[in-house]
Each structure stands twice: as structure tokens, then as C-alpha cells.
Chains A and B, each alone.
With several copies, the nearest count.
Chain A
Amino acid sequence: MLLFASVADRAGTRRVELPYVAGDTVASIRARLLERFPQLAAAVPTLMYAINEEYARESDPVPAGATLAMIPPVSGG
């Protein structure tokens, strides 16, 4: 799983390896992430998600081998 910007800073890492199992969704994997990094809980309400570089919903299934990314509110430009 990829973390960026403020979320990466709070977690102290930009990359987390979490095994995905059949039936996992963005939300279920996020729950496991928060067990390891409870300090990310405050960021959850503003997060968006991407599966394989495509914006995704919390309820979307995450296929095995997919790249999941936590996307804080963007501020490019």
C-alpha cells in the first residue's frame, strides 16, 4: 500500500506491505492499516483511495496483487 504527503509523514513510511485476501475491500484493508498505524485515524475522513492508479470507493474489492493507495486531499498546481 502506498502512502503520501501528510499520511506518509504520520505513518513514518511511504510503503506498507499488507497481504490482501479474497473478499478484501478498500475499507477492510484500511482497517488493518489503522491497527498498525492508529495515528492515521484522524486522516480517514478526508482520504480518497486508488486501486491500480484509478480512484476507488471504500466498498470496492481489491484484487490480489493490486496496488492500493491512500490519497489525501490533493494540492498540486
Chain B
Amino acid sequence: MLIRVTPDELDTAEAIQAAGSPAAGAINVFLGVVRDNNLGRRVQYLEYDAYPSMAEKVMRELAVEAKERFALEDCAVLHRTGRLEIGEASLLIAVSCGHRAASFEAGHWLVNEIKKKVPVWKKEVWEDGEAWVEGPESLGIQQAPASMR
């Protein structure tokens, strides 16, 4: 089981390797990537803050629960911190199991739980301002445009 909060680029091959198992017939990988827009605004980049030690603890608890609940062979959960450009991966989940249906269910369950429970926060930076996103889909607390501060 690979669990990591890191400022470094997330390595998909490493996660797949870590999650693999000879008994696995299916590996599902989910990448949360930085999108160039959110709720109608152009995003320039994201800045991720985290409580790394607690984030890893919660990620590990969720991974253990997923392994049990979906009969996973193994899994990997990585979250990146710091400044992320458009197209870069912030979250990387890889799960392996005997059959495909459970691999999709486990991956989806893990993303949803991670977004609810892991102490990580994203700040959206636009051309004319920035905001911490509070809660998974909110626009966050708008701050004054950068040019006015």
C-alpha cells in the first residue's frame, strides 16, 4: 500500500506498480487534474495546502477501508501539494482487484471519501484574483483582485 502527500510530481507508473498484484485482473487509476476552468471562470493555476501528516493518516484509513470493502488486492493514494499548473495531477489513486466492476467502484468511492475527509485545500488563482475553495464544489471565499492588494 502506497500512501503519500508530496510536493513532487505524481508518478502514475509508480502507483500502478505499487498497487499491482499477481492476483489482480483489473487496475483502476484515477487522476484528479487541474482544469483550465471552474464554475465559469478561467483558472490560471492551483495552489494546494495540506496538513500532510494528518492527510496521510486519513488517506491510509480510507485505503484500508476500501481494501476491505471492495476486496482489493492493493492500492495507492497520492496527493500533491504546492503550485500545480493546468493538466498536472493533484490526486492519484490506483486500485487493483480480481475483477473490473469492483475496481471502478473502489476508485470512485475513494475519490469521493478523499474529497470529503482528507485535510487538503485548493486555492484557485485567476487572472484577476484568487480564492480558497471551501468544500468540494464551492467558489470559496472571494478575495480582492490581486491588482488591488
Decide if A and B touch, CB cutoff 8 A: yes
Contact B90 A4 (CB under 8 A): no
Decide: A5 and B121 in contact? CB cutoff 8 A: yes
Count of B interface residues, CB-CB < 8 Å: 32
Given the interface pairs A69-B51, A77-B32, A77-B91, the reply to whether A5 lies near B114 with Cβ below 8 Å is no
- Among A46, A54, A76, A77, chain B packs the most CB atoms within 10 A around the CB of A76
A48 to B141, CA, bound (A): 17
Q: Tell me the nearest residue of chain B to A71, going by C-beta.
A: B119
Is there a chain B Cβ closer than 8 Å to A29's Cβ?
Answer: no
Count of chain A residues with a beta carbon within 8 Å of a chain B beta carbon? 18
Contact A73 B120 (CB under 8 A): no
Among A5, A75, A77, max chain B CB count under 10 A is at A77
**New A-B contacts (14) at CB < 8 Å, excluding given A76-B79, A76-B120, A76-B121:** A5-B123, A5-B132, A6-B134, A6-B141, A8-B49, A53-B51, A74-B118, A74-B135, A75-B115, A75-B121, A76-B50, A76-B114, A76-B119, A77-B115
